């Protein structure tokens, strides 16, 4: 149950607010500044809307819109004015916030980045989208893995972005690193509606983990984002689902303590444990090998599908992007700005 959307907060609860933000059209630095202020104002609205709210979550593209514009003039930096404004909004409203930025990258294409900021204005989690939605998105693939952080009321949070959630390995990594709540921000449009729903539920159930997901909403005159925020309990049951109304904030209380309890006490369907302890009824501790060919091949740098040569789209040229010439650069953790 969701505690009537968080109205009745319990001592162990975390109240989430998922903002189905109106899809903006951002072209110039002035547009970027205006949209930054709009998000700041929505943080304040969320706090007024639900005094019990612990964490307010904004979708992917809530700052930049869906244009896929990589113009350096409207790209953000971690120490730039947009992030500073988000940090101050969290301080002013005594609330945690999750935000989306398209981040300037001096070595290549911008990163599609996500931030979690606490109620003191401290940057607690910084993530670069691992799986841009190819061939549509031009963003540099993330290179700092999937971090987790301590969240409100002793919870453990992870953040993935949009297309990331279509890969079950992403949710599994979040849970493996201890996440009890996995946030998924997105800009998806209506054709992805069914996939969105089933993956949010499957990611929750197969990892005994709450998933809290939200898309952009409304139209920018070209694209129509679908909204449809949803918070799913660790057993795969949706606690709340949003509509298609722009700027609707859906809320629910979730219970990280019950996630921890299930992970400890469940026998049947404790899949996150049983994945690494196959058949423990038959063999002591279960088999702890890696029987998956694709995992071994990926580690060895030899991931190839049986139909690899038949795949048609292998770069972004079908969506108007030039074929890339740069090789991928590995892990590179940036220097994060100091606390406000």
- 338 confidence band (pLDDT: 50, 70, 90): low
Give the active site residue among 76, 103, 129, 215. Answer: 129
Catalytic (active site) residue 60: yes
Could you give the C-alpha distances from 190 to 139, 184, 268, 305, 313, in angstroms and in order? 22, 17, 35, 29, 22
Instruction: Report if residue 39 sits inside a domain.
Output: yes
pLDDT tier, 334 (very low <50, low <70, confident <90, very high otherwise): low
Residue 336 lies in a domain: no
In a domain, residue 340? The reply is: no
76 in a structural domain: yes
141, burial (CB in 10 Å: exposed 0-12, middle 13-18, buried 19+): middle
Distant-in-sequence, close-in-space partners of 87: CB < 8 Å, separation ≥ 6: 117, 121, 122, 123, 340
**If 0-12 CB within 10 Å is exposed, 13-18 middle and 19+ buried, where does residue 325 land?**
exposed
Catalytic residue status for 162: yes
Which ranges of 97-252 does DSSP label H, i.e. alpha helix? 168-176, 193-205
Q: Which CATH number do you get for residue 66?
A: 3.60.110.10
Could you tell me if residue 335 is inside a domain?
no
From the number of C-beta atoms within 10 Å of its C-beta (0-12, 13-18, 19+), residue 194 rates as: exposed
Task: Report, as an integer, the average pLDDT of 199-204.
Answer: 98
Structure confidence at residue 4 as a pLDDT band (50, 70, 90): confident
pLDDT tops 60 at residue 340: no
Q: pLDDT digit string (tens) for 11-43?
A: 999 999 999 999 999 999 999 999 999 999 999
How many distinct structural domains can be found in the chain? Answer: 1
Strands 96-103 and 123-128: unpaired
If pLDDT is split at 50, 70 and 90, which confidence band does 339 have?
Answer: very low
């113009």: which residue's tokens?
Answer: 71
Set 60, 137, 140, 180: catalytic member: 60
pLDDT digits (tens, 9 = 90+) for 274-317: 999 999 999 999 999 999 999 999 999 999 999 999 999 999 99
Residue 329: per-residue pLDDT = 81
Per-residue confidence at 330, pLDDT binned at 50, 70, 90?
A: confident
Annotated catalytic residue, options 76, 98, 149, 162:
162
What distance separates the 2 farthest-apart alpha carbons in the chain? 65
Torsion, CA 168, CA 172, CA 173, CA 176, rounded to 10: 180
pTM summary value = 0.96
**Average of pLDDT values for 80-86?**
98
Question: Would you call 284 a catalytic residue per the annotation?
Answer: no
Whose CA is closest to 238, among 277, 273, 198, 272? 198
Is 339 a domain residue? no
Q: For residue 166, tell me if it sits in a domain.
A: yes
pLDDT at 195 over 50: yes
Structural domain harbouring 18: 3-319
217 located within any domain: yes
pLDDT-derived band at 337, boundaries 50, 70, 90: low
Yes or no: say if 224 and 66 are a contact pair by the CB < 8 Å rule: no
Cβ atoms of 135 and 316 within 8 Å: the answer is: yes
pLDDT at residue 70 above 80? yes
Q: For residue range 169-181, list pLDDT tens digits in order.
A: 999 999 999 999 9
Mean pLDDT of the chain: 95
């Amino acid at each position: 149950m969701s505690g009537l959307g968080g109205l009745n907060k319990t001592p162990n609860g975390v109240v989430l607010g998922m903002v189905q933000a109106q899809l903006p059209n951002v072209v110039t630095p002035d547009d970027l500044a205006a949209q930054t202020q709009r998000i700041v104002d929505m943080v304040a609205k969320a706090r007024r809307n639900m005094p019990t709210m612990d964490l307010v979550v904004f979708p992917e593209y809530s700052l930049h819109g869906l244009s896929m514009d990589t113009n350096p003039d409207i790209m953000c930096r971690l120490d730039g004015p947009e992030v500073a404004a988000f940090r101050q909004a969290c301080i002013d409203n005594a609330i945690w916030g999750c935000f989306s930025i398209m981040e300037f990258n001096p070595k290549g294409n911008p990163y599609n980045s996500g931030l979690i900021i606490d109620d003191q204005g401290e940057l607690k989690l910084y993530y670069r989208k691992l799986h841009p939605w190819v061939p549509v998105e031009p963003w540099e693939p993330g290179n700092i893995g999937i971090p987790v952080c301590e969240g409100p009321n002793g919870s453990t949070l992870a953040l993935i972005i949009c297309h990331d959630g279509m890969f079950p390995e992403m949710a599994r990594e979040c849970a493996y690193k201890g996440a009890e709540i996995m946030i998924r921000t997105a800009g998806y449009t209506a054709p992805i509606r069914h996939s969105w729903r089933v993956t949010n539920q499957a990611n929750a159930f197969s990892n005994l983990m709450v998933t809290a997901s939200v898309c952009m909403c409304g139209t920018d005159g070209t694209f129509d984002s679908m909204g449809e925020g949803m918070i799913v309990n660790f057993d795969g049951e949706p606690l709340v689902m949003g509509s298609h109304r722009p700027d609707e904030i859906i809320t629910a209380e979730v219970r990280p303590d019950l996630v921890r309890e299930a992970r400890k006490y469940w026998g049947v369907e404790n899949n996150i444990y049983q994945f690494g302890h196959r058949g423990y009824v038959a063999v002591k501790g279960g088999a702890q090998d890696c029987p998956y060919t694709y995992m071994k091949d990926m580690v060895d740098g030899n991931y190839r599908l049986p139909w690899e040569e038949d795949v048609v789209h292998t770069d972004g040229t079908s969506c108007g992007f030039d074929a890339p010439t740069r090789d991928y650069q590995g892990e590179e953790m940036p220097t994060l700005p100091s606390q406000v």
